[in-house]
């Protein structure tokens, strides 16, 4: 794996669009494709989780006539967790370390190694 590929897979974890482009463009290197899909599915998973929590919090706030409006502050720790995980995964990917992102690694493996 050359330096450009290392940078692309590392940047794919915090910046989802890079992982999407890498997944589409990469044809040869299965490991790069695996990391691209793993990063893409990681970001999609967090996006879906955030949207679902936002909807639940919104409904609870509406039901309580605004009393539970402070629950929106609970989304910030989730964003911080995403940033920290994205940076950790990016560093691991750049150094060539093999790791599996929970839940999404099976999907990424199935897509990349087909």
**pTM for this prediction:** 0.86
Q: How far apart are CA 84 and CA 88, in angstroms?
A: 6
Question: Per-residue pLDDT tens for 25-42?
Answer: 988 888 889 999 999 999
Numbers of helices and strands, H then E, in the chain: 5, 0
12 φ, ψ to 5°? Answer: -65, -30
Q: How far apart are CA 31 and CA 17, in angstroms?
A: 18
CB 38 within 8 A of CB 98: no
Q: First vs last Cα of the chain: how many Å apart?
A: 20
Statement: residue 69 has pLDDT above 90: no
Q: Which domain holds residue 81?
A: 3-112
pLDDT band at 10 (very low <50, low <70, confident <90, very high): very high
Average pLDDT, integer, range 54-81: 87
Q: Say how many domains are in the chain.
A: 1
Average pLDDT, integer, range 58-81: 86
Neighbour tally for 45: CB within 10 Å: 16
């Amino acid at each position: 794996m050359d330096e450009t590929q290392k940078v692309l897979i590392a940047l794919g974890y915090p910046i989802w669009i890079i992982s999407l482009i890498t997944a589409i463009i990469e044809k040869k290197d299965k490991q790069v494709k695996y990391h691209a899909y793993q990063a893409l599915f990681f970001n999609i998973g967090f996006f879906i989780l955030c949207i679902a929590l936002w909807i639940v919090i919104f409904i609870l706030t509406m039901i309580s006539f605004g009393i539970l409006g402070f629950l929106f502050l609970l989304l910030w720790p989730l964003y911080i967790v995403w940033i920290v995980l994205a940076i950790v995964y990016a560093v691991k990917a750049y150094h060539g370390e093999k790791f599996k992102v929970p839940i999404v690694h099976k999907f990424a493996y199935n897509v990349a190694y087909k």
